[in-house]
Amino acid sequence: MKIGCPTEIKPQEFRVGISPDAAREAVQHGHQVLIQKGAGLGAGFTDADYLTSGAVVIDTAEEIFATADMIVKVKEPQAVERKMLREGQLLFTYLHLAPDPAQTTDLLESGCTAIAYETVTDAHGGLPLLAPMSEVAGRLAPQVGAWTLQKANGGRGILMGGVPGVAPAKVAVIGGGVVGTHAAKIAAGMGADVTILDRSLTRLKYLDDVFGRDFKNQYSTAGATADLVRDADMVIGAVLIPGAEAPKLVSRAMLSEMKPGAALVDVAIDQGGCFETSRATTHADPIYEVDGIMHYCVANMPGAVARTSTQALGNATLPFMLNLANKGWRQACEDDPHLLNGLNVHAGKLTYYAVGKALGLDVISPAIALKS
């Protein structure tokens, strides 16, 4: 198969769909990898790295879209890219179609087959191609929060781990899923005094069994949240209610009870944020202050560490990409129902019910798409 990987063109996106390591594996399986000139630079991979891996470096995205059987990307195709997709071509990338009618219409009109990273599932009910980015954002949260706490950035001037004779920072993590667990691990590793809140008793039991000595856990009620937030130097927002906007768990009124210069890191900002005063920010201007409390609300946190993020995403996508290339999408999806769950669009038809419901469009079952 000819596997094409264009340069990402969405603003502030530095990741790349295929790393040189992934390209090497695809080449070893007998495929041709076409990588756009400079596509890896944002993640620290040069064209020479790709050439060494056996990939072919191509000058333009137009040539890649015109010749590749499968396009592998990171972000959803932008309007100019969607115009280049063609009938029968396979697209494997993040799509997030539900809030994006324009993209959905274009993909349907192109006649391509599109498999969305975010709806591929695993045997444990997880989303294996979303999880790596949650791991990255979670581990980054205490790092950016620690920076925000520094005096020059408007923070309280508190060191995460304290020093002998001086207490460490108190960190409250709201939501103990993938983001929250990784955030708590790193914050505890930095020496902070960490408590994680969740509403799932099953999750709390797991956290207690595995991390009971590293950080505390507590059931998330409004009262427990208010108590912890009042006492915290840093609060990390990491809740998710699938398919819904994040609940607002810290109100503006609560800010006045917090310690001046405390830091709020709202990782859930991509779902609207879980603090009332959150608004999305960018890596160029990541923090702002409300009522004396510093807010960090970058919606695409993994972009800050594009190299790590590219490698983490590539580790998760590689087995699926190889199966798609080795077997063709039909056989690969027939053999793996979790990959089939990723099928969102095929030959002008939507195949993912939640997207159809959100946009009021007809949907055919993925099983029928496999036969068509």
- Residues carrying an active site annotation: 96, 270
Residue from the set 2, 199, 327, 338 that interacts with ligand NAD by CB under 6 A = 199
Token output for 34: 């076409």
Q: Which helix (H) or strand (E) holds 352?
A: none
Comparing CA positions, the residue from 16, 134, 120, 132 lying closest to residue 75 is 16
Residue from the set 53, 119, 271, 341 that interacts with ligand NAD by CB under 6 A = 271
Strands 170-174 and 193-198: parallel
- Of 319-338, binders to ligand NAD (CB under 6 A) are none
Q: Is 300 in the site for ligand NAD (CB under 6 A)?
A: yes
The one-letter amino acid at 296? Y
Q: Distance between CA atoms of 302 and 141, rounded to whole angstroms? A: 10
Q: Closest approach of Cβ 280 to ligand NAD, in Å?
A: 9
Instruction: Check: CB of residue 54 under 8 Å from CB of residue 27.
Output: yes
By CB under 6 A, which span of 95-103, 295-303, 323-331, 340-348 interacts with ligand NAD?
295-303
The one-letter amino acid at 90? L
Comparing CA positions, the residue from 51, 53, 43, 32 lying closest to residue 7 is 43
Q: Closest approach of Cβ 358 to ligand NAD, in Å?
A: 16
Q: Distance between CA atoms of 327 and 238, rounded to whole angstroms? A: 38
Q: Is 265 in the site for ligand NAD (CB under 6 A)?
A: no
Residue from the set 187, 301, 306, 355 that interacts with ligand NAD by CB under 6 A = 301
Q: Is 355 in the site for ligand NAD (CB under 6 A)?
A: no
The one-letter amino acid at 353? Y
Q: Is 306 in the site for ligand NAD (CB under 6 A)?
A: no
Residue from the set 240, 255, 293, 333 that interacts with ligand NAD by CB under 6 A = 240
The residue with its CB nearest to ligand NAD is 177
In Å, how far are 139, 172, 230, 361 from 211, measured between CA atoms?
Answer: 15, 15, 24, 45
Rounded to the nearest 10°, the torsion over CA 15, 17, 21, 26 is 180
By CB under 6 A, which span of 85-93, 242-250, 316-324, 327-335 interacts with ligand NAD?
242-250
Q: Closest approach of Cβ 178 to ligand NAD, in Å?
A: 4
Instruction: Check: CB of residue 86 under 8 Å from CB of residue 347.
Output: no
User: Judged by CB, which is closer to ligand NAD: 199, or 259?
Assistant: 199
Q: Is 314 in the site for ligand NAD (CB under 6 A)?
A: no
Instruction: Check: CB of residue 315 under 8 Å from CB of residue 355.
Output: no
Query: Binding mask 121-140 vs ligand NAD (x if CB under 6 A, - otherwise)?
Result: ------------xx--x---
Q: Is 177 in the site for ligand NAD (CB under 6 A)?
A: yes
Q: Is 172 in the site for ligand NAD (CB under 6 A)?
A: no
Token output for 170: 């108190």
By CB under 6 A, which span of 63-71, 73-81, 142-150, 245-253 interacts with ligand NAD?
245-253
Instruction: Check: CB of residue 332 under 8 Å from CB of residue 324.
Output: yes
Residue from the set 68, 194, 267, 339 that interacts with ligand NAD by CB under 6 A = 267
Residue from the set 38, 189, 247, 292 that interacts with ligand NAD by CB under 6 A = 247
Burial (CB < 10 A; 0-12, 13-18, 19+), residue 71, is: buried
Q: Closest approach of Cβ 338 to ligand NAD, in Å?
A: 17
Tell me, by CB under 6 A, how many residues bind ligand NAD.
32
Q: Distance between CA atoms of 87 and 295, rounded to whole angstroms? A: 45
- Of 36-95, binders to ligand NAD (CB under 6 A) are none
What are the residues binding ligand NAD (CB under 6 A)?
Answer: 133-134, 137, 174-180, 197-200, 203, 220, 238-241, 246-247, 249, 267-271, 299-302
